[in-house]
Structure 1
Amino acid sequence: MGLMPYMAVFVKVVECGSFSAAAERLGTTSSAVSRQVASLEAALSVKLLERTTRKLRLSEAGVEAYVRCCHLVESCQSVMEVATRFNSTPQGLVKLSVPKAFGRKLVGPHIPAFLRLYPDIDVQLRLTDNPVDLIGDDLDLMIKITDMPPLGLAARPLKKVSHVLCATEKYLAANGVPEHPSELARHSCLYLGEIPSDNRWQLRHKVTSDSVNVTVTGRFVTNHSEARLDGVLEDLGIGCLPLFMAQDALNESRIVQVLPEWHYVTSYFGMAWILYQPNKYLSPKCRVLIDYLVAQIASPEDSVSLPYGQN
């Protein structure tokens, strides 16, 4: 029993990747963390971490010990959450990470109403397109757009994400309507511009699955989809947009879809999943936010079947 705190420290060191990072997270010193891990190794008579000048690496025994220590830590966390489960009023801070455009358009607008509905819950909404990790980035929930959610995490589907090419009728009247992806090369196009390949568009025919690559050019390049939509609405050209960003303008006929029989292929494609640690004692504050976002954002066509254990 006396080794349990050392096991928890060992798990934190592995998660953080260094003694110093673990010490900062735990509110202690690197030397104290190092001593606790050394005490655990001495008690077990086995080397758990192999130290180099640059990084830490789990030994073969350490890999197995880490898995079992994680189960211990998760069990301890479940015990701590028992009181929360019996609290009839969800409360506390929920830290949620969401891709920028999806968060700005589909998640952020629903947060004020959620906060009014649950006055004892606070929400920290992080909008980022960088890779994030629930544990390493100290998050409660995260939304990720992918074909399938990562193994080892619980997941709820929110919304299917696809892309469309759009322009105003005024632009198309002045410059012509492309009938084939290859014709995009002579048009002014709005694209991301984050990396050199962003102006090389790939399109796949919805029926024949034929694939076409075309290099596009344009006078307005931006990595923000809302800014690209604004540019399209100003008749600057043909823009690639997430459908959720373009939907209102399409419904209102302010823009029209270009090459509708073709898929615009991008990595920002698939299902938007809300992800969380697979803890059957999920805290009420997280559960009510998950349920609320699913109710507000998901629609019947967004439902999917998950492998056993990921519901």
Structure 2
Amino acid sequence: MGTNSFLKVLPEMVTFLRVAELGSFSAAAELLGMTPSAASRQVKRLEKEIGVQLLQRTTRQLRLTEPGAEAFARCRELVQAAQGAMDIGPQFASKPAGLVRISAPKAFARRVLHPHLLEFLRRYPEVDVQLVVADRDVDPIREGVDLVVRLTTEPPEGLVARRLMAVEHILCATPAYLARHPAIAQPDDLLAHSCLSLGEHERDNHWRFRKNDQETQAEVEVVVRGRYICNHSEVRLEGALAGLGVACVPAFMAREALDAGQVVRVLADWEFQGNYHGHAYILYPPNRFATPKCRVLVDHLLAATGDR
């Protein structure tokens, strides 16, 4: 390929990258605003120019060939460099301005981020925010999101991770429910109660507890049962408020109900070790934070959450 001949296949390189990332011509075409047949033609043109097959196509899946994997890595570097070039202008802007796209899980977005984003928008009138609510691991590079909030114990490599706050799961129930049922002093006492669990995985009803103080050091696992199972923490909290039993929910979800006395914490002297715990991190590619609009939003959220 000649010195400048690669310029005519730059769009084809972008299309190939998105097809390989998403594993689908249709998904890549939708992202790029073209038809699947057009995306397929662009990849074929790129293969013709390079002189090797980049993708193995079957009726069920697409798979990178060995030269395709090498081309994929180079095309990704190219697109990242292009994005970095596009970010140069905002990096040197005199004040924060423009759109920031931030993604977060549903419950965290509603209960934690949303109030702080409203205050941020009042404070920075030149900055717009798009909140992308998704209970999955969003890839900021592939999906064009500036900032991603993820609840995890181990932030992914390749992204800058700033810790927002600890995420603790607790058990709670209404005072009325607890008054009608046997007292709960030990984890085993939950066996006599209706418990609202997630139900996403087979062992989500295996509730694990740890106690480590001067008097007791113990780890206990209890297999709970209940009449209402749901993988949405706000729904489980509403179930508890309706008197259906003891619910496991993130502490940030239950905070308002706890402060209002609508629910009380159960087994507060035990650490509930649910499947979803750790810290909420705000993640971004290394080049994104340099833009004033992203920098002020990250700083605002770090100050607002205060690693509670």
1:3 to 2:11 alignment: no
Match of 2:210 in 1: 205
1:246 is paired with a residue whose SS is: helix
Give yes or no for contact 2:24–2:62 (8 Å, CA) kept in 1.
yes
Separation in 2 of the partners of 1:175 and 1:25? 54
Match of 1:297 in 2: 305
What letter matches 1:48 in structure 2? Answer: L
Separation in 2 of the partners of 1:25 and 1:214? 44
The correspondence for 1:164, drawn from 163, 170, 186, is 170
The correspondence for 2:68, drawn from 52, 62, 65, is 62
1:123 is paired with a residue whose SS is: strand
Total equivalences in the alignment:
298
Cα deviation 1:18-38 (Å, max 9, x = unaligned): 333333333334444334333
1:268 to 2:273 alignment: no
Pairwise CA distance, 1:169? 4.1
The correspondence for 2:184, drawn from 178, 187, 211, is 178
Give the CA RMSD over aligned residues: 2.7
Cα deviation 1:127-171 (Å, max 9, x = unaligned): 232443334544222211110112222221111111111234443
What letter matches 1:176 in structure 2? Answer: P
Separation in 2 of the partners of 1:35 and 1:225? 45
Match of 2:152 in 1: 146
1:84 to 2:90 alignment: yes
Aligned residues: percent identity?
47
Report the TM-score when normalising by structure 2.
Answer: 0.84
Residues 27, 231 of structure 1: alpha-carbon distance in 2 compared, 3 angstrom cutoff: closer
Stretches of structure 2 that go unaligned for 5 or more consecutive residues are none
Separation in 2 of the partners of 1:33 and 1:234? 52
Alignment of 1:1-311 (within 5 A): 1-4=4-7, 5=10, 6-193=12-199, 198=204, 200-207=205-212, 208-218=217-227, 220-233=228-241, 235-251=243-259, 254-279=262-287, 282-299=290-307
What letter matches 2:81 in structure 1? Answer: S
Separation in 1 of the partners of 2:289 and 2:302? 19
Separation in 1 of the partners of 2:288 and 2:201? 41
Give yes or no for contact 2:237–2:247 (8 Å, CA) kept in 1.
yes
Stretch of structure 1 that moved more, 168-177 or 267-276: 168-177
What letter matches 1:247 in structure 2? Answer: R
Pairwise CA distance, 1:17? 2.2
Report the TM-score when normalising by structure 1.
Answer: 0.83
Separation in 1 of the partners of 2:37 and 2:240? 57
Separation in 2 of the partners of 1:113 and 1:274? 18
Separation in 1 of the partners of 2:247 and 2:103? 27
Residues 214, 65 of structure 1: alpha-carbon distance in 2 compared, 3 angstrom cutoff: same
Separation in 2 of the partners of 1:176 and 1:259? 13
Separation in 1 of the partners of 2:130 and 2:265? 35
Separation in 1 of the partners of 2:180 and 2:128? 50
Residues 22, 2 of structure 1: alpha-carbon distance in 2 compared, 3 angstrom cutoff: farther
Pairwise CA distance, 1:287? 2.4
Give yes or no for contact 1:201–1:216 (8 Å, CA) kept in 2.
no
Residues 174, 120 of structure 1: alpha-carbon distance in 2 compared, 3 angstrom cutoff: same
Separation in 1 of the partners of 2:244 and 2:40? 59
Give yes or no for contact 1:205–1:261 (8 Å, CA) kept in 2.
no
Separation in 1 of the partners of 2:189 and 2:50? 68
Cα deviation 1:271-293 (Å, max 9, x = unaligned): 11112223266433222222211
Separation in 1 of the partners of 2:270 and 2:306? 25
What letter matches 1:278 in structure 2? Answer: P
